[in-house]
Chain A
């Protein structure tokens, strides 16, 4: 039994003070209280075993595969418009499983907390994780908590691992991509990266943009129902669409040609990028995926995406072709072409 949303406690809090101290990581009563009140009461109220014991009928189906992934989340600030580190940690791992064709089932969550972190912040983050887990239909079944000295980490780091099942007969991999396949995205590009830049506050920019942070497993299932031969899928997280496409094109041995005019990018994001000398194709996304679909099923896939709330901004942005010397190119509205290469290092805002 997993309580997916926090319940108000009938008992007064046993936690002393309003900030996490090293005592909360010491293994004693303070730690027990923190884990009970902040974590397990929200994620998994019963039992004190240090492991999750799980049964799922889908695992026993012939031909089904177990999918397993892990990721660590560090973001400044930990709360931002459209999400927070907790929501990010659930969405990120759910999406890592889902883009490989897996149906996500269970997550673990490990917290590294900086001494001095506000307990109310921790509660908000954990509640947000629980809400997103409920949205995505996954359970957070095991976890870990460490407290480190002030200055050893930036407020809060979260590592989530996830387990899912890939149904028999489903094979999503970049190696399956063929010349002629359409390239789809489910929504606008760069919103998350632009939101984090604006939320850091040192830009003095007020921006109406929100992070696109969202779980994509339901959207992917809907697309696969409409376009069962969809070849491969990736979420365009760090490094943005450009990096995801370069990896996929290189693995598949194809060239991808994007149409600049078809790339869904908000004017606000374009504007911010112009101002700072950044390229929206390299900005991080947390709820945007890129999918290769045979051309015959492309319209069906597009319609399926647009029918879901996570796919309102879906678009066909280009096509794969036989391998050329350059994995990803973009045709500008002027008829010129430019290379879309892998990101080198980190995008750094320019001087003027």
Chain B
């Protein structure tokens, strides 16, 4: 008697349908930008749209081939965001060049970076056939994370842009290694914690009612995290320090299942925030701009302009190409959420936030259903850091929290961000493919009794 085996549905057809929908959103956005800003659909819409469809189908086919059981919703969600982001960057190019024709256009390079990102996505799916193999490289990824973070500090390679020394310029391309470091760090945390989680959770002394882990268990991970955050503070990258801290605390919590880590993390964050406010002028400026942006309109022009843009958009938005998002400094990168809010309105911004929310939800679902601890931790860490990043950047732009520099995933202009976020989606799809794949058939011994039993008599 064989028990009926539950075979997950692959749902690749649904993914293809959703992908077409997502591609349509991108192309329609591009066309309406041209219609709104210049009164005509851009001449290359058909060419660009065709290319986009080809790339989407190719991506879909790769997933179908190498990760047939992967989550079917993530890829379309990401394509929709990426398409919207590209259309908005093109729109902002038009707007900014209307003010000053000499300003650089970003849409084309962003398109190239998107292609690189999709290639990285496909590359990870093809190269990493089983995410558990990454666990064997735990310490390599830890070292890589620190190495990547140090890169911008090396004279000649690193570059300070807008007060933050987080850029690397190689062969004329600028890149933020911090984005890649985030993924490496997540893999390191996951790999390390999987091994040490029992020791961290159980071994150790109890001091004033708190179970403290042994130094040799907590030490390496604490050191790695401290170095990372130290470097980031040194580079004045507030957003990333916050992100890395959150990633660290949450993964520790998931691994040890002890809520005390969240409490400790929260207290440490409070202390750190207070120290940052007291010690660093640039933190204080951000904080004051958050509490009362109109107190100093000249200095807080960016935040104020972002708010003006959001208010100008109102409920239904000005329409793509018909607002004035170009008036806001960095409307194409840090403040692209405000640009979306202005032209797509509250409705559009909420839709975008829901897409982000769905991505996080799919990521956490993958973590829940994942059968191995490493994959579970990695998926949970990546999904949470994604949520935290969206919260910090969109919350900063909409004055929910003080502004810290972080990119809006898949939408903001910036090569490293787009590439690394595609890579993250690649990792998540890989884990989900492993998770949903039916367990390999184990040949049962009782299937052919005759050959099994040898009568000796």
- Specify whether A and B are partners: no
